[in-house]
A and B are shown apart, each in its own frame.
Chain A
Amino acid sequence: ETGVTQTPRHLVMGMTNKKSLKCEQHLGHNAMYWYKQSAKKPLELMFVYNFKEQTENNSVPSRFSPECPNSSHLFLHLHTLQPEDSALYLCASSQFGNSPLHFGNGTRLTVT
């Protein structure tokens, strides 16, 4: 495996469910990110982790809970989501300090 891998690729969940998105990077990077891509809106930065420490929380609702156990893995735990949370969730990694982001293929989330 190379690059940034996200699982699952698609997820359908009800508003009362609890699920998790997983991201793994094989690039030796020290920073990882969650972005949200909604239709007709710019990509929104959600969270930034640098050396496993959260350095950015862009006013994300608490129903989204990130976890970064090490520099290679990043999770996004989801609970009691709303239909408006349906979007493509993209994980990215980089060497912290303005090196380019490398993106995974995303998880397409649908909240019913």
Chain B
Amino acid sequence: AQSVTQLGSHVSVSEGALVLLRCNYSSSVPPYLFWYVQYPNQGLQLLLKYTTGATLVKGINGFEAEFKKSETSFHLTKPSAHMSDAAEYFCAVSGSNQGGKLIFGQGTELSVKP
């Protein structure tokens, strides 16, 4: 069985500050991990993914995430927040050969203050 926990349903940062969105997962098989972003009235857009290989993954819009097996974590970071980063962010997990059966976390709403 797999599950995802996103710590903090709402995170607020100032423009230019570090963004850190936390995600912990549970998986009985080697996980594939994803971060998606959802802007108001839109679907989900893939930010980045980890499958195998390098544990530090870079995505779009300056975001990156690091897979830490020992901590079962896949936290999302961005060095400097922009106003346009305000959105809801979802962490998701699947196992190998499970197709699109992604298990999503509850989401973290990111607010960026000027």
Mark A residues whose CB is within 8 Å of B: 4, 6, 31, 33, 40-43, 45, 48, 50, 55-56, 90, 92, 94, 96-98, 100-106, 108
Chain B residues in 8 Å Cβ range of A43: 44, 90, 102, 104
With contact pairs A41-B106, A100-B34, A100-B49 given, residues A55 and B43 touching in the complex (Cβ less than 8 Å): no
Inter-chain contacts of B102 with A (CB < 8 A): 43, 45, 101
Assembly CA distance A102 to B102 (angstroms): 12
Sample of 19 further A-B pairs with CB below 8 A, known A94-B99, A106-B42: A31-B100, A41-B106, A42-B106, A43-B44, A43-B102, A48-B99, A48-B101, A55-B99, A92-B100, A94-B100, A96-B100, A97-B97, A97-B99, A100-B49, A101-B44, A103-B36, A103-B43, A104-B43, A105-B42
For this complex, 15 residue pairs linking A to B, each with C-beta atoms less than 8 Å apart, are A31-B99, A42-B103, A42-B104, A43-B102, A48-B99, A50-B99, A90-B44, A92-B44, A94-B100, A96-B100, A98-B32, A98-B51, A103-B36, A103-B45, A105-B42
